[in-house]
Structures are given as C-alpha cells and as structure tokens.
C-alpha cells in the first residue's frame, strides 16, 4: 500500500505565478489535511477536506490560497500570485473514514518563490 504521495517534491515559482501542489492520499483514505511548515517553525494546520467538501479551513490565509479534493483525483492546494513569504514546505496528510485513526503524512512539497 503506497503511502501519501505528494508532487512535485520541489517547486520553484517566480513572484506572481501560481503554485499547484498535489496530494494523493493513501488507498482507502477519504480525509485529507494540508499543513505548512515555515523555516524554523513547526507545522501549522491549513485545511481539512473530505471528498468534494471543505470541512475546516480555519488555517487558510484569506486570500490567494484555495484547496480542493474532487471526487476523482488528488487533492490540490493552489496558491495564486505567490510571494516570497509563501516559501515553505507544504505537507499533506490523509486518514481513513473511520473515526479516531491517526493521519499519515506525505514527504512534502518544498516551494521556493524567487
């Protein structure tokens, strides 16, 4: 059973461009979480999604950031008009539908804005 797959592993974008980060959850997992890890900081929760639904987006910046988890395909975290401060590692985690099961993390996408 493959783990949580994130791609790309590294992404370089110029200021003002769009960044798209993809996350394929583990087989059978229908819950996806996105986290951001800024340099010298711990992980910060961004958004929690289930298939076709955003459950909790309390950690998402109000502008430029959006996330989706369509019925088919991976979850996408989209950052529009990137700025230098968006440079970070973005981690996705997934968990199965059953309650009380820990989430499994992907290896992350390291975004660098130049």
Partner 1 sequence: AQSVTQLGSHVSVSEGALVLLRCNYSSSVPPYLFWYVQYPNQGLQLLLKYTTGATLVKGINGFEAEFKKSETSFHLTKPSAHMSDAAEYFCAVSDAGGTSYGKLTFGQGTILTVHP
Contact residues toward partner 1 (CB under 8 A) are 4, 6, 31, 33, 35, 41-45, 48, 56, 91, 93-95, 99-108, 110
Distance CA 41, CA 27 (A): 30
> Which helix or strand (DSSP H or E) is residue 69 part of?
none
Residue with smaller CB distance to partner 1, 13 or 31: 31
For the CB of residue 45, give the shortest distance to partner 1 in the complex, in Å: 6
Number of neighbours of residue 55 by Cβ within 10 angstroms = 12
Q: CB of 16: closest distance to partner 1 in angstroms?
A: 27
Rounded to a whole number of angstroms, the minimum distance from the CB of residue 57 to partner 1 is: 11
């Amino acid at each position: 059973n493959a783990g949580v797959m994130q791609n790309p592993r590294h992404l370089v974008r110029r200021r003002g461009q769009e960044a798209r980060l993809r996350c394929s959850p583990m087989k059978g997992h229908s819950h996806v979480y996105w986290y951001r890890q800024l340099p010298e900081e711990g992980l910060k929760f961004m958004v929690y999604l289930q298939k076709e639904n955003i459950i909790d987006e309390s950690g998402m910046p109000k502008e430029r950031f959006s996330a989706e988890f369509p019925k088919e395909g991976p979850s996408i975290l989209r950052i529009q008009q990137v700025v230098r401060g968006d440079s970070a590692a973005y981690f996705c985690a997934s968990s199965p539908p059953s309650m009380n099961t820990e989430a499994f993390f992907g290896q992350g996408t390291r975004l660098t804005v130049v």
